[in-house]
A = this chain, B = another copy of it.
């Protein structure tokens, strides 16, 4: 298939793309036209259907996969498609993975590894809570496996939330081993739950965008609420344990300026914050140096998240 990032002015494109947005508007002459956004895993492009009544233009909706024929033009410095044909693509004629960035790791294997780590949690209350979410709630598990950990930035792909969560859990296991004064069960459980709010902060793929609730409340507050509601169904769950687990969620961004309403006040919250940040930053770094840099030398331009020019290590 022809990927959007390779489109060039004046080409004719035919192929199937995911229709992310669709809207109609009136032109200056009073004629209705459609404005759509097409997406594949390499990016987005705007398209216009000027002649809605023409033969090639069939019914389709936002969030459909559509076959199109279009000319690539330039408008205000950006590429734009002039669409002459469009119709809903039949299932089986396209491969979803071409439209969604996806983890390079095996999702089921990562899930098994996560479950393996959670099984070692021996506190019965935390064990019950872990089972409730990560084993018994089939709908949650399905969404958790498929979600990204971010719209952009890092782990912004199918399986990204699972990959990031597993990375944090594994780091926390090492930390708990080495700093024995930490409570292992609390730390591992907090690691597993720290970003579960993201399942509802971001919409499903292929959309993968902030939801209304995500923008208004954020995954920290949403994650706390998920835990609070769950614990009500677990008789005998100690109040102080619930509060400590929520604190780890509340404080895991480490600083007010990164959206944590409390700074880490428990050692496990502090450790979780570092593990989360380390996994996120090392993935950000990896993604940044994986981008093809072209002929301009080995240094990657200034990376905003890492606040530095960076480059691959030479050995």
Contacts and interface: CB of A to CB of B under 8 A. Distances in A.
Contact of A274 (B74, B262, B278): B278
B217 A262 contact: yes
Nearest to A167: B178
B213 A243 contact: yes
Interface string A234-264: 0000001101101100100000111111111
Interface string A215-239: 1111011001100110000000000
28 contacts: A6-B28, A9-B75, A23-B295, A35-B295, A123-B315, A171-B178, A175-B278, A181-B286, A182-B282, A185-B315, A212-B240, A215-B262, A215-B311, A216-B262, A217-B246, A218-B262, A221-B224, A221-B246, A221-B250, A241-B315, A256-B258, A256-B259, A257-B257, A263-B306, A265-B308, A266-B313, A271-B278, A274-B277
B217 A266 contact: no
A51 interface: no
Contact of A307 (B21, B258, B263, B313): B263
Contacts of A182: 282, 313
A72 interface: no
Interface in A268-303: 268, 270-271, 274, 277-278, 281-282, 285-286, 289, 294-296, 299
Nearest to A8: B28
Q: Taking the full assembly, how many copies of this chain does it contain?
A: 6
A170 to B, nearest CB: 6
A217 B267 contact: no
Most buried by B among A213, A260, A266, A268: A266
Contacts of A9: 75
A264 B178 contact: no
A202 to B, nearest CB: 14
A60 interface: no
Most buried by B among A8, A25, A181, A241: A181
The list of the 8 closest CB pairs from A to B, nearest first, reads A23-B295, A77-B77, A216-B247, A263-B308, A174-B174, A274-B278, A259-B261, A267-B285
Nearest to A310: B265
A309 interface: yes
A306 B264 contact: yes
A15 B249 CA distance: 48
Contact of A309 (B215, B241, B256, B307): B215
